[in-house]
Structure formats: structure tokens, C-alpha cells
Structure 1
Amino acid sequence: MAHGGLLVLLVAITRSGSLSGAVVQLTDFDRAQDYLQQFGYLKETTDPQDPQHLQEVTEALRMFQKVNDLQPSGELDDATLEVMSLPRCGLQDNFLNTHLKFRLTGRWRKKHLTYRLHNYTPDMSRAQVKLSIQQAFNMWSDVSDLTFREVDHGLQEDIRISFHDSHTSCPFPFDGPGGVLAHAEAPESGRIHLDEDELWTEGTRRGSNLRIVAAHEIGHALGLGHSQFRSALMAPVYVGYRGNFKLHSDDVNGIQALYGKRTTGSPSWSPTTPADVSPAEGSNHSPADPCTARLDAIMLGPWKRTFAFSGNDMWTITDLGHNPPTKINQLWKELPGNLNAAVHSPRTNKTYFFKGNQVWRYSGSVLDYGYPKKVQRIPANIDAALYLENNKKLVFIKGSNFWQWDELRYNILAHFSRPLARLFSGVPSSPDAAFTWTNGMVYFFRGDDYWRVNKRLTVDRGYPLSKRERWMRC
């Protein structure tokens, strides 16, 4: 039922105008007019009774209704009021015409950007927050020539993300639960603020989905304005959680207009999407517990992410601990579980997985042609594999022996075996897993113990330590 044309003053309007003479409650009028002014549909006026202003209100309502898939009647009906009551972004829409196209507000002068989380919401664990933010950035890097890297405190970042509530000093204060969820500044400011008065969640329809809202604000921080397509990520009104959320073509066209299409070899996958594996979404899979699971393999893999494997599951590890596990074949589709070893070569950007007497080789998440293949001249069921930086070779370990392989010299996985103690001093035989990490150190794992090997290839003093405590942060 329509509430009429916003007239509490019963101003006479000519037949050519679309505002009716019906009476609307003052609270509805004030709320709608304030909304239209706040979000860029309507200019402020000193004389709200001016017929010209009332006509401008009608046109503003029509624009708001059009971009929200409502009947553009120019009347303040129940459906319009309902959309105005939905949570949304705090930035203005500034839709100057009805041409449905992305709007640009700025541009970074580089394509490799860093970001930092200034603080965290107590609604989610730190690992969950970091994962949601990482996935939000991945939405944009998956379709553009942008890359994003999280940096630690003390390092300069391009984009800074923080949570604060309505009591915190801010140029655009929040309004408590509901209403405005977040806001961001155009390039090259890089500031993104999320309302701590909201309930931030992932994998559920309760509260506000951190991944989707953060991705919207990242779009602003990258130079995108609001979209006039309601189903677009950059639409101003938040429409709720969707587990299979994807960017609208308007989002993709906008970001590619700024930074170009994604080039071959860029990351195209976001690890461990909770929406895909959450039991709430109907999965009967009981994932491994990173705190107690025995490792089958670990590697510093493609896209410089640390992957751990156990049974049919994998998870990523960050400085703050482990992310939620997911099935291995959600990323590497043809790959079985219960692996013997995994290793990624930064020299060739290939990833190798071993099980029994077979090897699978991937480029990113795509299985290379002709694989899996039978391994040759190394035994089946190896214990571990790693990339050795000092000679740029792959090392395969079984029991107390090792084999080395130069990818660029040999076409088969083959070399002579030697005692493990001749390569590494102080490491255990038959390790569960081993890999070289970002700091150039080599790590060996067996049970809950791990050993750190320095660049002289000897174990550092004080090891072994607890994998559960130091790596998984349990």
C-alpha cells in the first residue's frame, strides 16, 4: 500500500506532477528524505515546502526505486521503505542518471598492493577473520591483474582494514547495529572501516557476512563506485549471505577497466571457502582436526601459501595458526587423499604430489597433461619431499635415505640415493613431512615434533618443538 507522495503539508500539485495529495506520516517522510539526501539522491534544501523540492523528491525516489528493482512510481510505498531499512554501505550512491554501468572513483598507480588488519572483531576467531578478508581480496584478484599480500604490523600497507563502533571518532560515524555496515575511501587512501556494532559471521545467514561486505568495501578502496545493478557486489544495499556468491559482470567490467584482466599464472583460487564445506550447507564430511591430525605432507605451495595435508583434507597455515580444513579435491580435483608427500618448485612453478608409486604434477590447480605417471628410480611410498634452495633441486626422503632431482636436467624423477645424514645434520629419519618455508629454513615433522634446519643444513639448538603449539597455534 502506498503512503502517498510524502506530503504532510497537503501542498497542491498540478496534474502534470506525479506526487499525490495523500498524507504520509511525518516519520516516514523525514526518514525517506534524510536517506535520499544522505546517500546522494537528493540535494538539501532550505525550504522543504517548495513545490520544486517536492518534484525533486519524486525524481530521487524514482531513481532509488529503479536501481533497486522496484516500480519507479516516485511514491513512498511499503516496498521502498523496506529497502531503505536494509543494511548498506555508508558511501553515497551518486547515481546521476539511469545508465546502468559501473562508476569509477580513482585508481592505484600500481597493481601489487599490500593490506593489513589493524584489529579484529570478537565475533569471529582471528583465523576466520583473516581468511574472510583474504577471500574478499581474492574476489578481485581472480578477475583482474591485481595481486594482494597481507603484511604484518610495523610494515607499511596500502590498504588498512579496521573495526570500530559508533562511539569511535571517525569522519563518517557509524549508527549502531543495522543501517550502515561499513565505508571506505577511494584510492589512494586505502582506509576501510567496518562497524563493530554489527554481528560479523561466515557460513550462516545470521548477522552480516564479513567476506561479502569486506569485498564490497575493497572495491571502493580500489576505485569502484556503487553499481546500479542490485545483484552486483558493488550495489549499495546489502542483500544478505549467499554461499556461492560471485561477482556480477558489472563488477568485473569495472575492475578490469581500472587494472586489466587477470594474466596467466596469477592466483585464481581462494583456499578453504567455509561456505563450500560448512556442515550447515549440508556436507556430511568430518574434516581432520589440525591440532591432532598427523601430517601426510606439508609444502610452501603455489601462490606462496603454506598447505598441510592429512587424509582427505588440507588446510592453510598463517602466522596466526591454521585455517579451517577442506577436502583436497576441492582445489586439486583429480588428486586422491592420504598422500605420501607434496612439494612445490618455485623454479618451475610446478607442484608435485606423491602417493604409492605415482606422481601427479599440477600447474596451479590444473593437472598437467599425461599425469599421473609412475615414478622411476625412486621407491614407492616416499616419506617426504622438499625444495632445497641452495642447489634448486627437489629432495625425496624415505627412511634414512634421500634422492635429489634437477628438474631442468632430467625428464624422470631419478637420482642416486644417499644417507640422509650426509645432507641434513640432526634430523629424524622417516619424517611425516618436510618443506622449505618462506624464511629459507627447512622444517621436518614427525608426530607432534618438528625440527628447524638452518641454512648450514644443521638443526638449530632447542629443537624439536611442538607442531601443535607453534605451527597450528592450538
Structure 2
Amino acid sequence: PPTISHDRLKRDIHWLGYPVHEFVYDSKSSRQNHLQHLRNSLAKDEAVVKLLHKRLRNQFYRRKRSAPMLEDNVIFDSNGNAITKFKQYENRPITWRLLSAGYSKRFPIINQIAMLELAFRMWSEVAPLRFKRQDHGHIDDVDVHIIFGERSHLDCPKAFDGAGGEYAHSRIGFDMHFDDDENFKIRDYGEHGIYFVRVAVHEIGHVLGLGHNDKRDSIMFPVYQSSSGGVDLELGSYDRKALQRIYGVCRGTFDLVFDWLRKKPALTPKDHPRYIFNTYFFRGDHYWMYENRANRTRFGDPLFIANEWRGLPNQIDCYTQILDHKGNYEYEINTYFFKGDMYYLYDDEQDRVKPGYPRLIAEDFGSLCNESIPNDLDAVYFDKRTNLLYFFKGKWVWSFKNENIQKGCIEQKYLFTTLFPMKDGEENVVLGDVSQLFYSYAHRTLYVFVGETVYE
């Protein structure tokens, strides 16, 4: 069979994230025999990864510093990233188990599981992947097996080297092993040691098919990087895009996206009242709270709307808040939700729909005028600069004076493109397809949602 050049072999090995010069052999003859064997076999594409797998376990070399193992049925591109999806993961969750024979001796089991769940969750937030802890059933039915171990651990052919060396190793699509001799810690601040979640996120990246890279701010950088300045661990843009090149991006639309603004009492009689907000995404019968500071959804979400937003229905159409300025930093805030032909006034303090609601939209929004606001609205937006409510449906927009909802009248009716001029060619894309308007207090920007596209 044709042979592969030494340079090709080095390149293939480097694609796995291993600088070739980091390996040393016990003897020159051992090295030559091993390389020749690989050269002769690498010509068969189906054998490439299997042979590299064997190479990682070969007794003729050892590692000078840590880097996780990358193996099993994945072809790599020149950046060290897998270019073949794990087809078996496309339509079901990826299951994992922390084996009872491999618990850490350093912290309670409940903390070990919680940190692993957080690490898996960080990847599931940036790609259409689902992870599920599976503590029961046959071990062969679990995708990812996780253990803590010291030196020679369980039946792993690769022993750990004690504290200060290799923190962990993993195999694509299979196992993660963590060195329990290392001084792993639960928190990313305040104490000396190695933040376990950071190491786990790195290893999960390998399990999912990511190799090492040379970006120091990437979670896949081969050398452990501790946090600084109180910044929480988050996946950077480079890591997100690397995973999305393999698995694609999360797709879908939301029924509702909004900032819920609430007033909190002043801390002292001399202080002004405080106003806080959180960002929420509603879809069907679930919702997510989005943490703007961390650029992620809240841990544990989604939750059921019915359980947390008492009195609200599922699949809500629209949301808005009317702010009535009372002077001296005082605002009266009224929160409204719309669905079908009904609207709901929400009690922000009691965290529930107010008594007497829902009410009919047609009866209260323009019933005393020549025209009422229609049902089944696409979006509602309150402009505190003009003190007007804007109702959106199809290609039309109605402005509504809101001095008193039940006595107000429609002020004017506009074409959507009159209020929101679009670029050439975009009119047909947007017209009639607006799903919602969202003013972000975090970004001080008004966003128009059209399907999966967002316009500023």
C-alpha cells in the first residue's frame, strides 16, 4: 500500500491537539518502528483514527505535560475540531453518569454532580444538544462515563501522574477521568486550587469533538487558566462557534421576549425608589429568565409559566408595561399581557394576575370610539416619550392614547413601514411577520423580532 510521509503523520497527530515535540520515545529504534507502522497503515482512511487511538496508548512514548486524549471515530479538520457529527446524539439526549466506583474524595457527591451538571449545561446553551444524567440502568446504555481516580484508576490504560501534572483526560463520545490528586475546588474565587467546573467544561468539549487551540481566552486552551477580576466562567465566542460548526445552532422562535421592570422601595427615607428588571423568554407553557450580566439563561430553567406567573395562560401573544411618571424619580408601572381577545393586568408586587382580569380587549381599548384595537395582536409597545401605546397586527399599527385605558381612543392608524422604514428588499420580509417588539434596558435598544431574525 502507499505510505504516508513523516510530515503528514506529524500533521495528522497535531490535528488531534498534540504538539509533536511534546512526545519522547524510549529509544530511536522504537520510534522508527512505530512511525513506520503508522505510515504504512494510515493510507487506509478508515484506520486513521483507530491507529492514532493506539498511538496515544503506545508504551514507547510518554507525555511531558497534560493534554486530554482524543479518540474514536471522528475525522478532524486543520483546526483540530471534529467535522463529523455524532449521529447517535441528534435525536436524543446525551446521557452521562458519575460512576459510584469513581467518586471524588475531595468534596461531597452532591457537589460533584452539581458541578458536572453546570459544566454540561454550558455547552447545551450554545448548540442544539441535550444532556441527561442517568444514574440507573445498564452502564452500556450510558454515553459518557465519568470517574475521579488517582494514578492507576479502574481499567484505564493511562495512569494519572499525581498533583500538578495532568488534571484530566477524555475520549470523544465516551469517557472523562479526573485526577483526584489535584486540588480541585468548588468555587472559582477566594481559595487556592483548581476550579473543577472549568476543567470539566474543557473535557466535555473534547468529548463533543473539540480539539485544543491557541486562544488563551478559550476554554479549549490546553493550559489551565484561572479566572481573574471576579469574572464568571463563560464560553467565549470562539468556543461557541467551534461547537456550532459541528452541531449547528439552536433554532426556533419565542412567543414573547420582554424586560419585566419593577419598583423596589427606597433603602432610606432620603433615597429614591429603586427600579430593577429581568429579561424573560416565553415559549408555549415554559419560560426562561435571561441573565444579562452573564449572557446566559438562569440555571434550572425553563420553568412552567402556570406555576410561576399565577393567572397567566400559556402561549401569550404580547406584553407591555405602561410607565406613568409621577415626578421625583417616581413611576407608576402597569404590566399587561395579551392573548387572543383578552388582556391581563399583572400585579408586580403580588406576582399574580390582578382580580377582575382577564378582560376583553375590544371592550377596553377603543370601545368608546369609532374603532377598537383588534384581537390576536402581533405586538404591543409603549413609547414613554410620547405616552402612546402602539398595537401591531399584520401590516398595520394603531397608536392609542393611554391616559385611561378604558376611556382611551385610537389616535391614528399607520402602515408598519411608516413607523419603521426598512431597507430596500426587506419590506416583504418584515411586513406582516412581526412577532414582537422588545425594548432592552440592558442594551437601551428596541428590537423587532421577525421569525428567527432580529432587527434593531
TM range (shorter): 0.3 to 0.5
Greater strand content:
2
TM-score of the superposed pair, with normalisation by structure 2: 0.42
